[in-house]
Amino acid sequence: MVVSALLIATGFIGALGFKNELVAVWALGIASVLGAAPIAIQAYQALKVKVVSIDVLVTIAVAGAFVIRNFEESAIVTFLFLFGAYLEQRTLNKTRSAIKELTEMAPESALKQMEDGEFVEVDVDEVDVGDILLVKTGAKVPVDGTVLSGEGSINEASITGESLPVSKEKGSTVFAGTILDNGTLQITADRVGEDTTFGKIIELVEEAQDSKSAAERFIDRFSKYYTPAVLVLGLLVWAFSRDIELAITILVLGCPGALVIGVPVSNVAGIGNGARHGVLLKGSEVVGDFSRLDTMVFDKTGTLTVGNPSVAEKAYYGGYIDEALGYLASVERESDHPLAKAVLDEIGETTISPVESTEVIKGGGITATVDGHKVAVGNVALMEREGVPLSEQATADIERFETNGNSLVLTAVDGELKILMGVRDQIRPGVREDLRRLKKLGVKNLIMLSGDNQGTVDAVNRELGLTQAHGNMLPEDKAAYIRRLIEQEGQIVAFVGDGVNDSPSLALAHIGIAMGSGTDVAIETSDVVLMNSDFSRLPHAFGLTKAIARNMRQNILIAVGVVLLLLSAVFFSEWMNMSIGMLVHEGSILVVILNGMRLLRYKLR
């Protein structure tokens, strides 16, 4: 390309500056041959697989210009084609920056514990499952693993897109490619190499960027027939007009380069943006349905809610509450009930007393003797069984707590009600605002399906303002509901779940979206993965797919418009020639690439 440019410059200087036609002819002729050689090679390779590519059209056009001794046109056209290809490749590489950034983040070495107990630096490929590794401050975590000892905070931006450090201690899970900001950790390797969450992310994004959407497949089929049609048109023009220069110009101007490149660059840039923001779009095919969906169905537990029950409301009655809290904690330490952990977390540090004469009342709770006091911990039925009187205030509190969707934990000491706690799965922070954003982006129906009782579901619905909310639903009931929405009501449906119990619904919906924390099941069963179960990524994902679809339409319009304009100018104007046409053609390719690259900077307003 550079040599061709220098030869063209020499030719024009020779002709215009020194009036030396011989120098001009030789310089421009050599430039034409040099420039045409790589294009002709590509054309030959395409013809070998029975494809009439853009390179074939340009090769024929350049050969024709060379035959009629129009060296200026042939030299300039080949240079512009090569220069356009160079700029195209360079800008496309930028759209794949997400992959480049991810692969550069991949750890290359690890400190592995050897048989003598010493830690030695080895290549990350030498780490096996079960090996013990040491991670120091500032180092990358080499594998997915579990913390054996030590404490520290880790930047998990490469996995979740969230830059705030996450505290880690014994028993915590760590991911390959994340960075230990401070502290020192010893971890055991659970998943290594391509099996790590980080490895799967890279693999998924690569597959997604290499996959083709319906629009891309259509354009591939279109160009397969369009390019030979342009060749036939050029031959017909030459046959009827005997104007070979006009026929050659039509071959150059009819090249559908911008049309072929416009849609893929939009998909690649958009998928790259999602990867950097903790959203994995598993292929270009996902974009079409996701951008057009009108109904979004949510599982409740672990999706709209945190998934871990905690004390949401509490009320105290009478005096000596600190002692009563200590008795309650002492009893709950003896229990394996799911609500016990939530109660203990709420109480925190307190005085623990020995528990005696423990009796588990089926469907009611526990009674025991603690520090000489008769303590009853359970539901209203247990209080009635033990003869504990409930004041008007307590009765009103119980009714209010139940209306709010709480499971009740009542504590009586020596026949007197002391503590009332309401335990429920808390709604994720910011979910109400995220749902509002989804509505503004065009989702008409927001529906919640849950296996919980209808009262709990209604309480969550009141707080979130969903379109519909249905409780007492088993996984098969949810799948049947999704099928009805699609087949009977004709809606385009996305299902958002945890990727385990809801896998039938994830598979049935047009778009399955997993709140996966990067788990294997979520990554394998869904179309979209929100890393680290971050619900706030969902509006960004939906807005991004709508932006990708809009960008693709813009690129198609630009590409088709430019071709029609150029062909019209050939027949209805005097100024259009092969060089100008090639310049405009290459310019249109750059325009659609730059338009697609805007998606790399996309952020939800």
3-state SS of 48-63? HCCCCCHHHHHHHHHH
For the record, the structure tokens of 65 come out as 């210009």
525-544 per-residue burial string, b: 16 or more CB within 10 A, e: under 16:
bbbbbbbbbbbbbbbbbbbb
299 is catalytic: yes
Q: 3-state class of 170 per DSSP? A: coil
* Closest-CA residue to 161 (of 536, 531, 528, 523): 531
- Bridge pairing between strands 416-427 and 305-316: antiparallel
The DSSP secondary structure of 368-431, one letter per residue, reads EEETTEEEEEE-HHHHHHTT----HHHHHHHHHHHHTTPEEEEEEETTEEEEEEEEEEEEPTTH
Structure tokens at 523: 């990554």
Judged on CB neighbours under 10 Å (0-12, 13-18, 19+), 104 is exposed
Q: Classify 254 in phi/psi space as left (phi over 0), alpha (psi -120 to 50) or beta.
A: alpha
Distance CA 432, CA 447 (A): 13
Tokens of 233: 């048109």
Q: Report the Cα 360 to chain-centroid distance in Å.
A: 48
Question: Catalytic one among 55, 131, 299, 397?
Answer: 299
**Cα(595)–Cα(592) distance, rounded to whole angstroms?**
5
Which residues belong to the active site? 299
